[in-house]
Structures are given as structure tokens and as C-alpha cells.
A and B are shown apart, each in its own frame.
Chain A
Amino acid sequence: MMSAVEHSPYPEEKLQRLEKQAICREAQLSTLLAIFGERSHLSFPSLFIYGHTGTGKTYILQTVLSTLELPQVFVSCVECFTARLLFEQILNQLHNHCPGPENDFSSYERCDTFNEFVRFYKRATTSQGLENETVYIVLDKADVLREMDANLLPGFLRLQELTGNNVTVIFLTEIAWETFRPNTGCLEPLTIYFTDYSKGDLQKILSSDHPEEYSPEFFASYINILLGVFYTVCRDIKELRHLAALNFPKFCEPVVKGEAKETDAHKLWRNIEPHLKRAMQTVYLREISSSQWERIQQEDREASQLKGLSAHAHVELPYYSKFLLIAGYLASYNPARTDKRFFVKHHGKIKKTDFLKKHEKTSNHLLGPKPFPLDRLLAILYSVVDSRVAPTANIFSQISSLVTLQLLTLVGHDDQLDGPKYKCTVSLDFIRAVARTVNFDIVRYLYDFL
């Protein structure tokens, strides 16, 4: 690995610094250096770098370009959501221009179209004296480019040819190149894959920034336990690092209290493992915020006491709205042919065997809600509510306000007034809680649970 880096034409101390900064990315580093070549060499028109989130794509590119002091432009495509913003950002960075109060936050030049951009770009490189060097334009989160103007992506891929300058455009993304290719084709970039970190790599990287009060071995053993719990679920280094920082105080608690020594691996493991498992159900899902989690640890409370975000799902609704929602749920999850059996008092004889044919079919709670017409909703509502309900304007306005609350949704926007169809989009737990408040046994009316 060393040799490939050693022989590139850049100053040695810088290369060594780079090598130190890129843990477990030596292969990628040497590939990039080889591809970049010398400053004055013509380089590839475009590189397409993909890999999972948190594999160091942005980090490596940034460190390489800034350590070697190559002329570079770094743009996030999420920020620059229109073509104009993107062009102006690139030109600003080329001119070392920063929008600020002194220039009324305006950019260096107004540039609306790709045509102007190419012209301004040429002018910028000559005025900055960059004709003889490769300029690197890095477009981070390049998947957003696909949804922008159709000429942007092929244009950037061809930028070297269009400008006639020595420029390399680098695309960073998580998604494979195949989904980017426009249907009339384009200049193919060189695709480079940033491999995912193996478990050993993760262990090495996470252990590298250990707190100073404790020994590296101690921290490494903690990371080992952490990976043991989380590795099957999550391989994102950012997430893991966050979790490691969050739970470390709990891990060293026995040592601080003097109940265990740093070498009592088993005891420490027994202490932390259930805690980490709870963390997976709470912090990992952002049910409990990180600051809340830290507070719980400090106050030494039981971690699951606090109700998470999803426990606050209960919504207070008016009486009729509740019944409307219940009726909507029943209409969504029951097939229409069973309505007679459920809601008509004297429904005549329906053979039980006919009725219970359903078991060969998959349950509706697996397939999701079905749309239903407004009439059916009202019919179920009248039969579910004991007292007489008048179809007032109030009732109808409540239906549409349930739609704005996203508890019901309108299916197919073709008809607003005449015979609209709805779907109920609440979960079973939610509707059971609602039904309980009005003393209605909803499970008895659900076809799936018969």
C-alpha cells in the first residue's frame, strides 16, 4: 500500500500526513492519487465515486484536495437546488468570492444557463491563472442532479470537452451509476467504489479517538461490545460513533464508582449490554433525543421510563370525529360484502362457512387500507353511533378536516364534490385507543380478527 502513495509526485511530508489521516482507506487514497497524476497532467473528465453512507467519500476527497492544495470547488447539490445556484456557487469558489454583508450577499456573477456558465468558467480559470492545472469540481450528493435540468448531468460529464480546460468533475453519491445514465447516453465517467468498512476497520477507526482519561485498551473493549450489539443492524460509522460517545459514561460508571476495575471485562459487559439494547430501541430510532438520553444516564434513572416520541400518538378529537374515524377504519379494512353481516341487525341468514372463507385469503392488515366511497362511510357511521346523527354541514366539514389532519386521505383527486373516495391511514393501535375512549369494541367489528 505504502509504495503506491510514496511514488506520486507530491511533497513527501504532505503524503505522509494524508496517509495518517486516512485510516483504512489506503487503497482508495492511492487510487485517487494515481488517477489525479501531476498538477499539469490532463486528468479524467469525470469520476463517479459511490459507496455507502459513512465510508469516507467526502472526507477523503476533502483531505486529499486540501492537503495537496489542488485548485478545488466543493459543492453540495442539495444546497444548490437550482441550476443557477449551482453555477454561481462554483464560480464564487473559483474567484474566492464569498457572499457576505459587504457585497449584499450577492454572488460574483449572475449566471443562469449552462452556456453562460461555460463561458464564465473559461474566463475564471484564465483570470485565476489555472490554465495549466487540473481544477477539481466536486459535486456532493450528486443524486439530486438527476431531478434537475436534463442537460446538467451530461453537461458536467462533458465539461472538459466543452470548456477545453483541464477540469475533472467528481460526483459523490450513494447510488450506483446505472440509475444516473440518461436515456440518450452520455460521456461515461470512471466509476470508483469506496468499499464498506469491515468490522475490523470499524473497530480500528472507532477506537482511534479514545478519551484521554482511560487507556486505549479499555476504550477498544467498549467499542468491541458496542459493535457486538449494533453491528447486525447498523454499519453507518456516523451513527455508531454517535452511539459510542453517548453510552460511554454508562460503561465507565462501575469504574468511577469503584465497583470494578478496568480489566473486569465481564462485569463491565454485564453492566452495559442491556443498556445498549435499550439504546437500540430508543436512541437509535430517535424516539428519545440524545440529550434526554444523557440526562437519564446522569440521573441514573431506568432508561425505559421515559415515553418516546411515538408514545405520544394519542390525539384528542371531537365525539363525531372519533366515530367518523372508526367508521373510516372499518370501511377501509373490512370488505364491503361483510357490511351486512356486521351492521344490519336482521341480516337474514348468511352461512357461516361462506362467511369464513377468508382464511385462505391474506389478511387486510397485511395489504393495507382499501379505498371506500363517502356513502359507505356515512352508512357505517349511522349504524355505529347509537343516537341519531343528522347529516349536517358540521359532519361533512369534519370529514374534510380529518383529511387535512392526514388521518383520512382522499384517493384520486378527480372529483371533489361528487362521490369522493377515501382511505383511512391510521394504525390499529391508534384506532383502538380512540375506540376505547368512546366505549366501542372495534375488534369485534373487524373482519380480520373474527
Chain B
Amino acid sequence: MSKRKSKEKSPPIGECISQVQALVRQRLLQQGHPGRRCGVEAQHKHLVELLKRTVIHGESNSALIIGPRGSGKSMLLHDALEEVFAVKEIKENALQVQLNGLLQINDKIALKEITRQLNLENVVGDRVFGSFAENLSFLLEALKTGDRTSSCPVLFVLDEFDLFAHHKNQTLLYNLFDIAQSAQAPVAVIGLTCRLDVIELLEKRVKSRFSHRQIHLLNSFSFSDYQDVFKDLLSLAPGFPDTQFSEKWNENLQVLLENKTVEEVLRKQFNASKDMRSLHMLLLLALCRVNVSHPHLNAADFVEAYRLRNMDSKANILHGLSVLEMCLVIAMKHLQDIYSGEPFNFQMVHNEFQKFVQRKAHSVYNFEKAVVLKAFEHLYQLELIKPMEGLSVRTQREYRLMKLLLDNSQISEALQKYPNCPTDVRQWAMSSLN
């Protein structure tokens, strides 16, 4: 109620901002939203062709879509399915089964899910199956009864395909590929995976039944394509209710595209990864900063968003340590330098720290051993140090061998930024070998 009231009061600009946010967020976050296809035209055509052959001609097929994370595998499939199912008769005639390796972690669950998605639950429901195999054979029977011409084609989409290859005996994969190969009901098995070596994971009998049709999505586009995508994602379509606002927004976007700072940010992002999803994240973060008092994006938004996305987390954690913990980190760094990467225990670190306290520092840092041990355990809790052997009660806390998970440059950089760092501590850190 109160929400509506505030909306009425707010000027139309607020309304526009809200609409822009809703629209662009939808565009950036929703799965399978049709975006610009960057250099995947051939793959798209191939996939559509393949699916059409199954759905229209009743040919059984199998294919794997392989590409790194965020390269648009699901989007490609989604687009292709939409294109194939555009005809109403086809849509009514074909069935889809969506499986995900994260959800269906074993064949039993996968089988249940297939039954559910094919709406065969009521058929299977009353029947008591002795085993997994019986259930499977019944389902297959249901598929087998039809022949190439009369039965309804089924499209199996296996997301996270590599996880299905870790199932026991790969029963599910074997059976699916087996149906696809022999002349039974027409099925298409489409696997999506990010592992390039996924074929090596398959058993020999499964591999031999697979058609070895692979569609690779390898992010092969250039920086100018990247910029085009950037523009596409943010620009407002002509259908936007407030034309004045959308025109201004698009103009502003054009200005941004020519801006050197924005280009630099994009270039940096592009060099780090060509993955579209990281671009989406960057844009979303920038978009979050748009509000009524700041209705248009500017270069600073992108710089800030880039900064937020690319913080060194270890440096952040080091920044929050107490002086004592920092001293221990420095002592560990010295130990690592002296003994060239050998693991250390608390006793050695304490010894090193004690040497510093007695010789170089003021007596202020003279803490009891138990206090130092508490600081050491905090470092362990933050996973800045890692025990060499597995956690066990078998060794005393002081003598457990540890390894430092920080780089020397990280430590020295963190020390530069450390607020109110005592001078003697900083000097001790500099004098690496004593």
C-alpha cells in the first residue's frame, strides 16, 4: 500500500527509472533471453537443423554442446528450441525432458524425473516396480511401442552433462544413447557441458553409441562485437512508454560508448575474460547506481562497478587483521624466505616474533604466549594458513605444521595500505633476511 502511495507522489522520472531497472535487469539476468548472437550463427544453424530432423522427420540424434562457462550454451539451445517449436503442430507433437546434473545426482532420481516430465506418473503410479531396471524397461517400452512415423519425438536436454558421466555404470547415458541409435521412438539427446574432455569420461560402450557430434562455443568474437553487445544490452527499445526519456537514455549511451574511460574499463574486462556473464554482472552493478537523483549512467559508475568486481579478497582480509596478527604474518613470511617454503609450526613463528620484540620493537608488543596463540588460531580460522596434514588431535596445537597461503607481494601491498601501521613493524617487514 505504502509503495503505491510513494509511486503516485514521485515524479514521472521515478517511474521511468523503475521501468528501466526492471527491463534491463530482466534482460541481463533472465536465462535464455534472446540476445545478439556473437559468432555462433553456424552453431545455431547446425543445432536447429538437428532438432528439426528429429522433430519433423523422426530421426534420432545425439549431440554435445561444449563451451566454457557463460559462453551461452543454454541460450543457444533455448533459441534453437524456440525456433523449432515456432510451429504449433510441432509444439504439440514433441515432448521435452530437461535434466540437470546438479539436481538428478543419480539415475534413480533422473528416472523419476523423466517419468514426471513425460507425464507418465499416472501410468507408472499404481504399478509396483521391483527395481530400477524394471522401471527403466517399462519407460523404454512406452517409447519403443511407437515406430519412426507414428510416435511422438522426445528431446532430452542434459545440462551439466559431465556430472551424468559420473553416475554408476553410466546406465542412464547408455540407455539414452542406445535408444537414439537403434530405430525406436525418435529421441534427441542434447548434452551441455563446460568440459572439453567430456568424451574421455564416457565408457567405451557409451562412447561408441554416441554420434560424436560436437558443437563448440568458444567465445570467438572481437572487442568491437563486445562493445556492440554492451550497447545492445543497455539501450532501450522503441516500445518504451516514455519516448523522451528513452531517447535521452540512448543518446547518453552513445556518448558513453565513445568515452575513453568506459572503453578502458570494457577493455580490461574483455582482457580478463570474454565470458558474457561477467559483462552482465558489470553492467548490472553499474545499473544499480542509477536512481532518481542520478538518472543516467556515467563513466564513474562503470569504474566503480569494475572496482567492486575486482577487489583482491585476501588483501581485504589482511586489511582487517589486528597488529599482532599482522606481526605473525610477517614472521611467517620471514620463515618462508629463510627456509625457502618449508612448512612451519607455531613455536617457530613465536620464536621469530619474540626475536623481533626483544631486539627491534618497543616492549609494547610483548604479549603472553597464549595471546599470541589465539591470534595464530584466528589466522587459521580465516584460512590464511593451512595445516600440512589433515586436521587431527594427534599433534599439539603448537607443533602442527602449517603453510602460509599468501604471496610476499600481497603481504607487502597489504602493509602499505594497513591503517596506522607501527613504523617498527613496517621496517621489520622490509628487512626480509636478518
Question: Which residues of A are in contact with B by a Cβ distance under 8 Å?
Answer: 3-4, 6-12, 31, 34-35, 37-45, 50-52, 55, 113-115, 118, 149, 151, 154-155, 158, 160-162, 164, 174-179, 184-188, 190-193, 195-196, 198-199, 231-235, 280-281, 284-285, 287, 310, 365-369, 406, 409, 411, 423, 425, 427
- Pairwise interchain contact B371-A195, C-beta atoms closer than 8 A: no
Given contacts A9-B6, A198-B419, A233-B322, A160 and B29 within 8 Å (CB-CB): yes
Given contacts A41-B21, A41-B25, A113-B105, A177 and B313 within 8 Å (CB-CB): yes
- Pairwise interchain contact B322-A235, C-beta atoms closer than 8 A: yes
Q: Which A residues are CB-close (under 8 A) to B426?
A: none
- Pairwise interchain contact A11-B2, C-beta atoms closer than 8 A: yes
Chain B stretch 105-129: residues in CB contact (< 8 A) with chain A: 105, 109, 113
- Pairwise interchain contact B347-A365, C-beta atoms closer than 8 A: yes
- Pairwise interchain contact B322-A232, C-beta atoms closer than 8 A: yes
Q: Once bound together, how far apart are the Cα atoms of A240 and B360, in whole Å?
A: 29
Stretch of B52-60, B239-247, B394-402 with 4 or more beta carbons under 8 angstroms from chain A: B394-402
Partner of B348, one of A11, A198, A281, A366: A366
- Pairwise interchain contact B371-A284, C-beta atoms closer than 8 A: yes
Q: Which B residues are CB-close (under 8 A) to A113?
A: 103, 105, 109
Q: Which B residues are CB-close (under 8 A) to A9?
A: 3, 6-7, 14, 18
Can you list 20 residue pairs at the A/B interface with Cβ under 8 Å? A11-B3, A35-B288, A38-B18, A38-B21, A43-B29, A50-B316, A115-B113, A155-B102, A160-B29, A174-B381, A184-B162, A185-B69, A231-B322, A232-B365, A234-B322, A280-B367, A285-B370, A368-B395, A406-B393, A423-B394
Q: Is B388 an interface residue when CB atoms closer than 8 A count as contact? A: no
Closest 6 CB pairs of A and B: A368-B399, A196-B320, A176-B313, A7-B291, A34-B288, A115-B103
Q: Once bound together, how far apart are the Cα atoms of A4 and B368, in whole Å?
A: 46
Q: Is B40 an interface residue when CB atoms closer than 8 A count as contact? A: no
Q: Once bound together, how far apart are the Cα atoms of A284 and B30, in whole Å?
A: 50
Q: Is B317 an interface residue when CB atoms closer than 8 A count as contact? A: yes
Q: Once bound together, how far apart are the Cα atoms of A184 and B382, in whole Å?
A: 24
**B146–chain A nearest beta-carbon distance, Å:** 28
Q: Once bound together, how far apart are the Cα atoms of A164 and B100, in whole Å?
A: 14
**A225–chain B nearest beta-carbon distance, Å:** 15
Q: Which B residues are CB-close (under 8 A) to A423?
A: 394-395
Q: Is B90 an interface residue when CB atoms closer than 8 A count as contact? A: no
Q: Which B residues are CB-close (under 8 A) to A39?
A: 3
Q: Is B285 an interface residue when CB atoms closer than 8 A count as contact? A: yes
- Pairwise interchain contact A366-B347, C-beta atoms closer than 8 A: yes
- Pairwise interchain contact A155-B371, C-beta atoms closer than 8 A: no
- Pairwise interchain contact B21-A52, C-beta atoms closer than 8 A: no
For residue B162, which residue of chain A has the nearest CB?
A: A184
Query: Number of B residues contacting the other chain (C-beta, 8 Å)?
Result: 73
- Pairwise interchain contact B6-A233, C-beta atoms closer than 8 A: no
- Pairwise interchain contact B103-A155, C-beta atoms closer than 8 A: yes
Q: Once bound together, how far apart are the Cα atoms of A146 and B350, in whole Å?
A: 31
- Pairwise interchain contact A178-B104, C-beta atoms closer than 8 A: no
Q: Once bound together, how far apart are the Cα atoms of A191 and B309, in whole Å?
A: 7
Q: Once bound together, how far apart are the Cα atoms of A276 and B290, in whole Å?
A: 49
Q: Once bound together, how far apart are the Cα atoms of A234 and B288, in whole Å?
A: 35
Given contacts A185-B194, A188-B281, A4 and B102 within 8 Å (CB-CB): no
Q: Once bound together, how far apart are the Cα atoms of A423 and B100, in whole Å?
A: 50
Q: Is B272 an interface residue when CB atoms closer than 8 A count as contact? A: no
For residue B26, which residue of chain A has the nearest CB?
A: A42
- Pairwise interchain contact A40-B22, C-beta atoms closer than 8 A: yes
For residue A39, which residue of chain B has the nearest CB?
A: B3
Q: Once bound together, how far apart are the Cα atoms of A113 and B104, in whole Å?
A: 9
For residue A231, which residue of chain B has the nearest CB?
A: B322
Q: Is B278 an interface residue when CB atoms closer than 8 A count as contact? A: yes
Q: Once bound together, how far apart are the Cα atoms of A285 and B374, in whole Å?
A: 8
Given contacts A44-B29, A188-B277, A52 and B396 within 8 Å (CB-CB): no
For residue B346, which residue of chain A has the nearest CB?
A: A368
Partner of A8, one of B31, B162, B277, B291: B291
Partner of A411, one of B109, B284, B393, B394: B394
**A12–chain B nearest beta-carbon distance, Å:** 8
Given contacts A11-B2, A185-B69, A151 and B288 within 8 Å (CB-CB): no
Q: Once bound together, how far apart are the Cα atoms of A25 and B328, in whole Å?
A: 29
Q: Is B94 an interface residue when CB atoms closer than 8 A count as contact? A: no
Q: Once bound together, how far apart are the Cα atoms of A367 and B401, in whole Å?
A: 9
- Pairwise interchain contact A3-B313, C-beta atoms closer than 8 A: no
Q: Is B311 an interface residue when CB atoms closer than 8 A count as contact? A: yes
- Pairwise interchain contact A42-B30, C-beta atoms closer than 8 A: yes
Q: Which B residues are CB-close (under 8 A) to A179?
A: 383
Given contacts A34-B289, A235-B322, A425 and B375 within 8 Å (CB-CB): no
Q: Is B276 an interface residue when CB atoms closer than 8 A count as contact? A: no
- Pairwise interchain contact A162-B102, C-beta atoms closer than 8 A: yes
For residue B420, which residue of chain A has the nearest CB?
A: A199
Q: Which A residues are CB-close (under 8 A) to B420?
A: 199
Q: Which B residues are CB-close (under 8 A) to A50?
A: 313, 316-317
For residue A52, which residue of chain B has the nearest CB?
A: B320
Q: Is B195 an interface residue when CB atoms closer than 8 A count as contact? A: yes
**B42–chain A nearest beta-carbon distance, Å:** 25
Q: Is B211 an interface residue when CB atoms closer than 8 A count as contact? A: no
Q: Which A residues are CB-close (under 8 A) to B7?
A: 9
- Pairwise interchain contact A232-B368, C-beta atoms closer than 8 A: no
Q: Once bound together, how far apart are the Cα atoms of A52 and B320, in whole Å?
A: 7
**A115–chain B nearest beta-carbon distance, Å:** 4
Q: Is B416 an interface residue when CB atoms closer than 8 A count as contact? A: no
Residue of B69, B104, B316 with highest tally of chain A CB at under 10 A: B316
Given contacts A9-B18, A176-B317, A368-B396, A114 and B25 within 8 Å (CB-CB): no
Q: Which B residues are CB-close (under 8 A) to A7?
A: 291-293
Q: Which A residues are CB-close (under 8 A) to B101?
A: 151
Given contacts A11-B2, A42-B25, A155-B102, A51 and B320 within 8 Å (CB-CB): yes
Q: Once bound together, how far apart are the Cα atoms of A182 and B420, in whole Å?
A: 37
For residue B278, which residue of chain A has the nearest CB?
A: A188
For residue B104, which residue of chain A has the nearest CB?
A: A115
Partner of A184, one of B194, B324, B371, B395: B194
Further 13 A-B residue pairs, CB within 8 A, beyond A7-B291, A50-B316, A176-B383: A31-B288, A43-B25, A55-B320, A155-B103, A176-B313, A184-B194, A199-B420, A231-B323, A235-B321, A367-B345, A368-B396, A369-B399, A425-B396
